[in-house]
Chain A
Amino acid sequence: MRLQIVKRSEDPPKWLPIATSLGAVVLAFVISGGILAAVGADPLQIYRYFFRSAFGSWGAFSDVMVKATPLILIGLGCALAFRMKLWNIGAEGQFYIGAFFSSMVVMVPLVDVNTTPPIVTIGLMMLLGIFGGALYGFIPGLLKAKFGINEIITTLMLNYVAVFWNNYWIFGKWSDAGFQMTPTFPRRVWLPRLADLAKQNPFFSGMTLHVGVIFGLIVAVVLWYIINKSRWGYKINLIGDNPKAARYAGIDIAKNIILVFMFSGALAGLAGMTEVSGVVHRLQERISTSYGFSGVIVAWLAKLDPFAVVLVSILFGALLVAGREIQPSGVSFLIQGTILFLVISSDVLMRYQIRLVNTKKASVEEAA
């Protein structure tokens, strides 16, 4: 008897991708637990704490959804770009620029915040956030489309440029009394939160979940429609599968590279806006805790499916929330990395079958 790895000739069963993804998540917790135990921590206690701080109460779950919101938006943007095999790992930078642009509304200011109806101000912030992200996605898109420059590198580099750009403003012109942040924005421009309903129903008091999560859900539905039903989605899928065939079929690839990059950037920019207006209520250093990179992982784990992006984002939101609270501080990074590694390793099961065979009979069976 021996183990044999054979290439699949048929499609893998439908349940297999889901099963391996779930298996990878579970196994990642087991492996990380082993590492934690090895350094002398009690993994079970950490996980229990983990679970409690993420799902222990409605308030905790509200926190998880707050963290999940930018991940959903960024993950969706990445999922679309990855469908065209565009490696937008610049969501981090697009997020920062989106946050910057939406902050302009209050900080420049573009409108008189105290007299303009909040819905107009917030709407303008959203538009500018989207615009900023799209603009910042346009740059690598253009470089890729016109000069064929590797977008992984350009997006990575632009991430840093975006951070320094933000720093210039929050350390300087927009600084709040020398702190590395802007003054807190007036309440009128905050995205509505569950806590705002606390007067009507005390159940919601202290819940920070804001309407940004609804934007995320709407975008997920829209993206599903785009990918599966629209002409644009068909083009994206065709370019993603075989760009030469797409060009042969008369599709303008350069234009679509730029469009998809802008769309992807726009979603990251919107995520930046929701973070500024819905969570921190000002522009500051490190508004993103690697959301851009986590978004890449979310999209990949979700196998580029919009609804799966939402679910995976919630899991990662939980990791982030719990990770804030527990020591050692790197646990959530560790688990994220392990999960992803296991998932991409398990992809091999989609292409190959592992079978236990009787060596003597093997050749006969295969011939049949």
Chain B
Amino acid sequence: MNEYSNNQRIPAVEMRDITLRFPGVLANDHVNFTLHEGEIHALLGENGAGKSSLMNVLMGLYQPQEGTIRVFGKEVRFNSPKDAIAAGIGMVHQHFMLVPTMSVTENILIGLDKPKLALNLKHYDEEVRHLAEQFGIRIDPSAKVWQLSVGEQQRVEILKILYRGARILVMDEPTAVLAPQEADELIATLKGMASQGKSIIFISHKLNEVQEVADRLTILRRGKATAEGIGLEGITRERLASLMVGREVIFNMHKVDREPGEVVLQLEQVSAVNNKNLPALKNVDLCLRAGEILGIAGVAGNGQSELVEVVTGLRECEGTIWLDGKDIANKPPQVSIGGGLAHIPEDRIGVGSAPNLSITKNVIMKNFESEPISHRWQVNYTEAGRHAAELKQKYDILAPSVETQARKLSGGNLQKLILARELSSAPHLIVAMQPTRGLDVGAIEAVQQLLLDQRETGCAILLVSEDLDELMALSDRIAVMYEGEVVGVVDGKEADLNTLGLMMTGSMRGPGSCPPEPAAAGSQEREG
């Protein structure tokens, strides 16, 4: 709490009885939300709980069917983000809203009244530099955005808002893309801004982070507020979690101890470049045995996607990748699929499914060329439908019929569809990237259980996740990636958040990967 927090003063934002409906969805149901001046107010909730909707209402992107909004005591009605910005509200979106081909300053100037005609970038570069210094933000105003790191891009977003003279900042899950240490830095900046009188709404679904940053919090569950502006003193993590998900959450999965078997997957000196032709993987060595889950930890963008892509044949690389003794490096996906590799992609809608095709056509995606689904050049859709119906029942996919289009499934059911397709091929190796992201708690448990079941049957699993709790609960070993390198492999049982965090930011190195010796995981050395 700081000098600006004062409940008696006029609140910076007061949203009352906000109700927002979309066809078939009640996104916000009579939600109240009050933000005091100079405070950091956390908005907590699961994905789909209505946090973003509520903030989009505040930003004027959506118009609520009911409810009133007051900003510094004055009732407002925003029809576009322009109105919200004019009222002193700015939002840093989860996906950055920056134009990559433009410079930092150009991005900041978009939508402003001044300059009217000629840009005179030199003058404005200077202004931006000045503003950044005032809040202790390091940035080169003339750099093109596509050249900046994720953390720097976030700073551009914050500057964009500050430049507009915003007094109210909405941060939509700002730490999701940052390393723990970077996140700490951001939180310090935010606290500094709050002490200078800025009011900040901090959207998150991470309990520990909220406890660290927020003065007060509001929790949303399925569009309703389950806590309105409560203080944080004396409230336990378990209590917060239950307000968020509506029941007590079990934080530890049940996992059977199991001796790993033969080596299934082995990477030797694998290097690759990313889409911008920059090195993304550097001499990666990894090995993975049957009946073992190898977790891959790391801040987003440190080579995890590229790692998954080279293993699944979607990206070219140097080095060798052995799958059951066969080199699959630089072989098209059909080779690894034939070799018993199942892939649960990060992007369920963009990569894992064909949204406008039926469930049937989605589940036969990988076996449509084998009997009995097809015969010679012809697909037997009767057989395919039968296969789909079987999987739909076995994996409990909720949909009217197997003819339903994939895009009409909820996130959880779509993920079950993908798992059904991938697991039904009896794989030796599963490569899963963020398999539970964006799912509700029930679905998360189901997906995690399915992975553990596969481990039981002797399947090797490469699990990439940004959720360290999930990694620690599921993995036998955790490999940490930083700037395209595996900086260490730790035993799943002995891993702790602090060590992983240090390794994820490159501040510490652990032992190498193969062969896995549980004893080695304990003796980590510091570097530098």
Contacts and interface: CB of A to CB of B under 8 A. Distances in A.
A and B touch in the complex (CB under 8 A): yes
Interface of A: 6-9, 229-234, 237-238, 241-242, 244-252, 363, 366-367
Nearest to B335: A250
Contacts of B332: 250, 252
Contacts of B337: 249-250
Interface string B297-339: 0000000000000001110000000000000000011100100
B353 interface: yes
Contacts of B357: 237-238, 241
A237 B361 contact: yes
Interface string B366-385: 10110000100111010000
Given A9-B24, A238-B365, A248-B352, A231 B374 contact: yes
B528 interface: no
Interface stretch (B5-13, B278-286, B343-351): B343-351
Contacts of B350: 242, 244-245
Contact of B354 (A233, A241, A250, A363): A241
Interface residues of B, number: 35
Interface centre among B65, B332, B343, B365 (most CB of A within 10 A): B365
B378 A230 contact: yes
B356 interface: yes
A229 B378 contact: yes
Nearest to B312: A248
B355 A242 contact: yes
Contacts of A238: 354, 357, 361, 365
B515 interface: no
B18 to A, nearest CB: 14
A366 B381 CA distance: 38
Interface string B65-89: 1100000000000000000000000
B112 interface: no
A247 B350 CA distance: 11
B172 to A, nearest CB: 24
A237 B362 CA distance: 11
Contacts of A242: 350-351, 353-355
B366 A249 contact: yes
Contacts, number: 78
A242 B26 CA distance: 30
A366 B313 CA distance: 47
B234 interface: no
B21 interface: yes
15 contacts: A6-B23, A7-B23, A9-B23, A9-B24, A231-B368, A231-B374, A231-B379, A237-B357, A237-B361, A242-B350, A248-B345, A249-B366, A250-B332, A366-B23, A367-B21
A247 B353 contact: no
Tell me what chain A mostly uses at the interface: helix, strand, loop, or mixed: helix
Interface centre among A232, A244, A250 (most CB of B within 10 A): A250
A250 B368 CA distance: 11
B65 A363 contact: yes
A267 B334 CA distance: 31
Interface string B459-498: 0000000000000000000000000000000000000000
Contacts of A7: 23
Contact of B21 (A233, A244, A250, A366): A366
Interface in B79-133: none
Nearest to B338: A250
A8 B356 CA distance: 15
Given A238-B361, A366-B21, A248 B314 contact: yes
B355 A241 contact: yes
Contacts of B347: 244
A319 to B, nearest CB: 32
Contact of B379 (A8, A234, A244, A250): A234
A123 B313 CA distance: 44
B343 A248 contact: yes
A241 B356 contact: yes
A250 B333 contact: yes
Interface string B2-32: 0000000000000000000101101000000
A260 to B, nearest CB: 16
Contacts of A241: 354-357
A363 B67 CA distance: 13
Nearest to A242: B354
Given A230-B377, A232-B377, A250-B333, A244 B351 contact: yes
Contacts of B66: 363
Contacts of A231: 368-369, 374, 377-379
Nearest to A235: B368
Given A237-B361, A238-B361, A245 B351 contact: yes
Contacts of A245: 350-354, 365
Contacts of B361: 234, 237-238
A145 to B, nearest CB: 14
Contact of B368 (A8, A234, A247, A248): A234
A248 B366 CA distance: 9
Interface in B35-93: 65-66
Contacts of A249: 333, 337, 365-366
Q: Which 4 A-B pairs have the closest CB atoms?
A: A250-B334, A241-B354, A250-B333, A249-B365
Contacts of B65: 363
Interface centre among A241, A246, A247, A248 (most CB of B within 10 A): A248
A363 B26 CA distance: 12
Contacts of A252: 332, 334
A58 B354 CA distance: 47
B314 A247 contact: yes
A366 B356 CA distance: 26
A232 B376 CA distance: 11
A252 B313 CA distance: 12
A7 B26 CA distance: 15
Nearest to B309: A248
A79 to B, nearest CB: 17
